[in-house]
Amino acid sequence: MVRIRVTENRFINISRRSLCDNCCVHNCTSFNGSRVTECRNFRPMFLVLMKCRGCGRIYDPYQDLRSLDYELCPECNHSRKEAERISIVCEE
């Protein structure tokens, strides 16, 4: 469970287990018993839109289920993961 700050006094909780945990659709056939990260039938409990602090794009944080930083849109999160694939060298 991730807690995201939406406004100064409001937060939303997003479950990272599956997109189905955050969906309000009943009797959905998309759930196959495993983790769902993409679904065209997904409908959140309420609409939340955030502005990416990296590029300024408006995005839906519910669609960013696998991200490490929820203040970045999926594209900025993806490019950040690519940039962080640096080998660490320890010197003695």
Q: Rg (Cα) of the chain, in Å, rounded?
A: 16
- The token pair that represents 59 in the structure block: 């995005």
The one-digit pLDDT tens for each residue of the chain (92 residues) are 788 887 888 888 888 888 888 888 888 887 777 888 888 888 888 888 889 988 999 988 887 777 778 888 888 887 765 555 444 555 55
Q: Does residue 17 sit in helix, strand or coil? A: coil
Asked if residue 54 belongs to a domain, the reply is: yes
What 8-state DSSP symbol labels residue 51? E
Asked if residue 92 belongs to a domain, the reply is: no
Structural domain count, the chain: 1
Question: What are 50's strand-pairing partners?
Answer: 59
Question: What are 44's strand-pairing partners?
Answer: 23
pTM across the whole model = 0.65
* Domain range for 22: 2-83
Asked if residue 88 belongs to a domain, the reply is: no
